[in-house]
Amino acid sequence: MAKPEVLIDGTVFEGRGRIGVWRLFYEVMSRTAGEVDYTVLVDNAPQLDIPGGVALQRFSRGPELVSRRQVAWRLVRPVLHSRLRSKFPNHIWHPTFFSLDPRGKATGPDRAKRLATVYDMISEDFYWMGDFAVQREMKRRCVAQCDHVLTISHAAADRLVRYFPEMAGHVTVMHLAADHGGQLRSSPSDDRSSTDDLNPVRSSTGGRALPPRYCLFVGGRNLYKNFPMVVRALATPQWPDDLPLVVVGAPLDAEERAYIRSYGVDEKVVSLGPVDDDRLSECYRRAACFVFPSLDEGFGLPVLEAQAHGAIPVLCDTDVFHEVAGDAALFHRPNDPNAFVDAVRQAIAMSRKEQQFQARKNLQRFSWDRAAATLLGTYESLWRDGAR
C-alpha cells in the first residue's frame, strides 16, 4: 500500500494558545513522518516547532465561520477551494482544531477522507459557563463532515457519542503521554531529602525563586478549571501554614488578584507566569504535591507530567482523571474546599516511595509511540477505504 497522504491544518503551529494540542500533533507526526506523506497548511509563520520531514504549504485560511457580510471572502473562497482540490485531491484532511476541509464541500464515495480530533466535550457539557457558542458550532460542522473521529480518552469518546450518536462505531481513542520528545522525560526520584530542598531554590533556568515547599497548579484557570475553589481552600484553617500555592500559566489578572485578596491569601500564592519546559520540569520535581481540581478534562496531560516527575497528583473525582491517573493519585469531591484540603494534607504526608512506584506503573500505560501507532493505523484504514 502507498503511503497515506495527509493534509494537516496548521493552526496550532502558528500560535502559543494551545500548547497541549501542539504537543499531541508534534509528537505523533514526528514518529510517523516516515510512513505518512504530511503537508501542513499555514497562514502565518509557525511559532512552534514543526516535525522534520513534513512539507509546508502557505494558504490563506480566512474566517472559519463566514457571515453574509463577508462578501469578498465568500467570492474568494471557491477559488482557493479549487486550487487545493487540484493540488491535493486525495489527501486525508486532518485539522488540528475543528477547521473545515478547505477543499470545499465535496460529497460522495469518491471524495477524500476526513478525520477530526475531538479533545473534549466541555463546550457542550459546560455550555452555561462561558461563551462556547463558536467552538460548539465549529466542532459540530467539523464532526458532521468527517468519516472518523479521534478522541484522547474513553471518557471523551463516551461523551462525544452522546452528542453525536451517528459517530458510534467511528471513534478511536488515542491516549496522550508524558515522554515529550525528551523535553519532559523523567522518572520519579526517590531522593527528595537533599539539604538543597531546605532553602528557597533559584531556578537553574532563571526566574523567581521557588519556595522550599509548595503545592503546584499548572495551566488554565478559567471557568471549569475550578481555580477559585483552590483559593477558598487556601483560606481555610486546615490549610498547612508552610505550603504556598505556586501557579504556572498565564500571569494572574486584576480580577484574579482581587479575588485572592478578598480571601486574605495574597502571601500564599506565588505566580510564576508562563515557563519553558526546563523550568516546568523543575517545578514538578520540587513540588510537595500537584493539584488539578478541574471539573472535567479531555485527558489531563499535566497529570502524567506530574507523575513522571514524582509529584503526587490531587485531582477532582471525575471519570477521566481515574482513567488517566489510575491508582497513583488522590481524589476529592468537586467544589468542596474542605475535601480538597484533606486530600492535599494526605498527599504531603504520604510515602513518596510507594506513590512513585504506583506512578511508574501507571506511566507504563502511556507512550507517544503507542499514540503514533494508533494514529498511523487510523490513517491507513481511511487511506485504504478511499482507494476502493
Query: Same structural domain for residues 118 and 199?
Result: no
In DSSP notation, 106-128 reads --STTSPPBEEEE---HHHHTGG
Query: Same structural domain for residues 108 and 218?
Result: no
Question: What is the model's pLDDT at position 351?
Answer: 78
Cβ atoms within 10 Å, residue 292:
24
Q: Report strand pairing: 289-292 vs 215-218.
A: parallel
In DSSP notation, 23-61 reads HHHHHHHHHHTTTSEEEEEESS--SS---TT-EEEE---
* Mean pLDDT across 15-42: 92
**Distance in angstroms (rounded) separating the CA atoms of residues 117 and 139:** 10
**φ, ψ for residue 245 (rounded to 5)?**
-100, 120
pLDDT at 48 over 80: yes
- Does 29 map to a domain? yes
Query: Same structural domain for residues 85 and 24?
Result: yes
Q: Which cell numbers in the block locate residue 56?
A: 509546508
- Does 372 map to a domain? yes
Q: What is the pLDDT of residues 150-167, one digit of tens each?
A: 999 999 999 999 999 999
**Distance in angstroms (rounded) separating the CA atoms of residues 44 and 248:** 28
Query: Same structural domain for residues 162 and 233?
Result: no
- Burial of residue 277 (number of CB atoms within 10 Å: 0-12, 13-18, 19+): middle
**Distance in angstroms (rounded) separating the CA atoms of residues 143 and 112:** 15
In this prediction, residue 84 has a pLDDT band, given cuts at 50, 70 and 90, of: confident
In DSSP notation, 176-194 reads --S--TTSS-----S----
Rg (CA), the chain: 22
Contacts of 266 (CB under 8 A, 6+ apart): 257, 260
Q: Which cell numbers in the block locate residue 30?
A: 514526528
Query: Same structural domain for residues 128 and 267?
Result: no
Domain tally, the chain:
2
Query: Same structural domain for residues 125 and 242?
Result: no
Among the listed residues 278, 287, 368, 385, the one whose alpha carbon sits nearest the alpha carbon of residue 4: 385
- Does 353 map to a domain? yes
3-state secondary structure of 216: strand
Query: Same structural domain for residues 60 and 130?
Result: yes
- Does 188 map to a domain? no
Query: Same structural domain for residues 247 and 304?
Result: yes
Q: Which cell numbers in the block locate residue 189?
A: 526520584
Question: What is the model's pLDDT at position 387?
Answer: 61
Task: For Cα atoms 37, 38, 44, give the angle at the middle one, nearest 5 degrees.
Answer: 155
Q: What is the pLDDT of residues 3-20, one digit of tens each?
A: 999 999 999 998 867 888
* Mean pLDDT across 174-178: 96
- Does 187 map to a domain? no
Domain that holds residue 235: 195-363
CA 322 → CA 223, 296, 339, distances in Å?
21, 11, 17
- Does 333 map to a domain? yes
Q: Say which residue, 111 or 324, is predicted with more confidence.
A: 324
- Whose cell is 486584576? That residue is 254
Percent of the chain surpassing pLDDT 90:
69
**Distance in angstroms (rounded) separating the CA atoms of residues 8 and 84:** 12
What is the CATH number for 344? 3.40.50.2000
Question: What is the model's pLDDT at position 266?
Answer: 95
Query: Same structural domain for residues 119 and 233?
Result: no
- Does 310 map to a domain? yes
Contacts of 208 (CB under 8 A, 6+ apart): 270, 272
- Does 167 map to a domain? yes
**Distance in angstroms (rounded) separating the CA atoms of residues 38 and 150:** 18
Query: Same structural domain for residues 355 and 377?
Result: no
3-state secondary structure of 22: helix
Query: Same structural domain for residues 25 and 84?
Result: yes
pTM for the model stands at 0.87
Query: Same structural domain for residues 148 and 242?
Result: no
Question: What is the model's pLDDT at position 197?
Answer: 36
Contacts of 214 (CB under 8 A, 6+ apart): 243, 244, 245, 246, 270, 286, 287, 288
Among the listed residues 262, 275, 305, 260, the one whose alpha carbon sits nearest the alpha carbon of residue 287: 305
